Amino acid sequence: MFIVNSYAIAVIFCFVTMLCWGSWGNTQKLAGKTWRYELFYWDYVIGILLFSIISAFTLGSFGSEGRSFLTDISQADWGNIGSAFCGGVVFNAANILLSAAISIAGMSVAFPVGIGLALVLGVLINYIGSSKGDPVFLFIGVGLVIIAIIANSVAYKKMSGDSGSKISSKGILLSLAAGLLMSFFYKFIAVSMDLENFARPEAGKMTPYTAMFIFAIGIFISNFVFNSIAMKRPVVGAPVSYKEYFKGSFHIHLVGVLGGLIWGLGNASNLIAAGKAGAAISYGLGQGATLVAALWGVFIWKEFRGAGKQVNRLLAAMFILFICGLGMIIAAGS
């Protein structure tokens, strides 16, 4: 299977993760013009599962190092399979909340607040499990990200004004709930793999490609519960039915699948990089997706159009703090 053998390449893979995780939300924005996010989400989940299968039988099966996918999954302990599956369930609950937040508050708010919180808590959780990297640089970077999140939240509050305070509060609360759950999913996947040696993984542990496949199965199966609830009791708008999903055009379904493929590529890149960079640093850099999503939201979707000078200064401060924080996280592993 394909393995990353240097920290520099691992960082590059983490940047691929950052771009993918920060960009998949654009497909929801595109579909959202005519398509409810609850319906979009089914195609998104199918895209994630599809990518996990493709990567398992290509990068996860070719090459001389490590175990091929079929060999690996046949020897995996049920405890490790269950852990990766639980990771998918936790992620799915969090991501549905994040999708709801995007539909209400937009990418430039939902991502910095929700995924920013997930970055902070997730780095702490994963560092406790695998203490790889300089803790001083790592936690200074996390601290800068916290300040960036606060700057973004204040900017959104000022932009919303008194007339939009109800929507603002709901969007931020959903983002915070998503971030809290999102901070835990990666740990479940990490413990199912042998992060110390992908080339000769411990018996019973899984390679990144197998772990991602089981993780995707967890997302797909849990979606029948979580998304069914979201469809019947939506946070915004009237309930939607499965009948409406099957009325969607091929093009609109393809947009959702594309979103899942983009996220899946980011997840695969992150898990592959974790063997060299460590779970905390790999996860932390990947969740720099908050910066990418904020850039999309501010400059492409114009979610802060018409903002005053004070709001623009807060947004500029957010971007600078995010960049500095990510730089410190990179330095922690070098």
| Residue indicated by tokens 């029948």 | 224
State the average pLDDT over residues 253-273. 96
Tell me: the pLDDT tens digits for 163-222? 344 445 788 889 899 999 999 999 999 999 999 999 999 999 999 999 999 999 999 999
Tell me: the pLDDT tens digits for 307-332? 788 889 999 999 999 899 989 988 99
302 and 150 in contact (C-beta within 8 Å)?
no
Task: Enter the pTM of the model.
Answer: 0.88
pLDDT of res. 198:
93
Cα(119)–Cα(287) distance, integer angstroms: 6
- Residue 289's Cβ-side half-sphere holds a number of Cα atoms within 13 Å equal to 32
- Residue 151's Cβ-side half-sphere holds a number of Cα atoms within 13 Å equal to 21
Using 50, 70 and 90 to split pLDDT, how confident is the model at 106?
confident
pLDDT of res. 168:
57
pLDDT of res. 161:
64
34 and 247 in contact (C-beta within 8 Å)?
no
Cα(163)–Cα(166) distance, integer angstroms: 8
**DSSP H helical segments within the chain, as ranges?**
7-23, 25-31, 37-57, 69-75, 78-105, 107-110, 116-129, 135-160, 165-191, 208-232, 242-246, 250-277, 279-286, 289-295, 309-333
Cα(58)–Cα(1) distance, integer angstroms: 8
| Residue indicated by tokens 């969007």 | 171
Query: What's the whole-number average pLDDT of the chain?
Result: 90
Cα(188)–Cα(178) distance, integer angstroms: 17
